[in-house]
């Protein structure tokens, strides 16, 4: 049976980027990170505007 790794990250991008530009950028980042692993990996990104101070807040993981 296989084991899958999960990577979740927030990307800080300029707030004036279009949704399409942000999506394309996130796709490239996800593909690049995924290509670094020999085993199955799922990369999930969330786009945040760099100008928003709330974007700098750490988001904890619930590891229950």
pLDDT tens digit at each of 64 positions of the chain: 468 889 999 999 999 999 999 999 999 999 999 999 988 899 999 999 999 888 877 666 565 5
**CATH code reported for the domain at 5-56:** 3.30.70.1350
Q: Are 50 and 13 in contact (CB under 8 A)?
A: yes
Q: Are 57 and 36 in contact (CB under 8 A)?
A: no
Distance spanning both ends of the chain, measured CA to CA? 24
Q: Nearest 5°: CA angle at 38, between 33 and 44?
A: 35
pTM over 0.85: no
pLDDT for the residue 39: 84
pLDDT for the residue 60: 63
Cβ-Cβ contacts under 8 Å for 9 (sequence gap 6 or more)? 29, 43, 44, 45, 46
């Amino acid at each position: 049976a296989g084991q899958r790794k999960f990577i979740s990250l927030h990307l800080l991008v300029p707030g004036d980027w279009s949704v399409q530009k942000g999506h394309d950028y996130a796709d490239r980042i996800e593909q690049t990170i995924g290509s670094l692993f020999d085993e199955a990996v799922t990369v999930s990104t969330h786009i945040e505007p760099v100008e928003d101070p709330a974007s700098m807040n750490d988001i904890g993981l619930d590891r229950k």
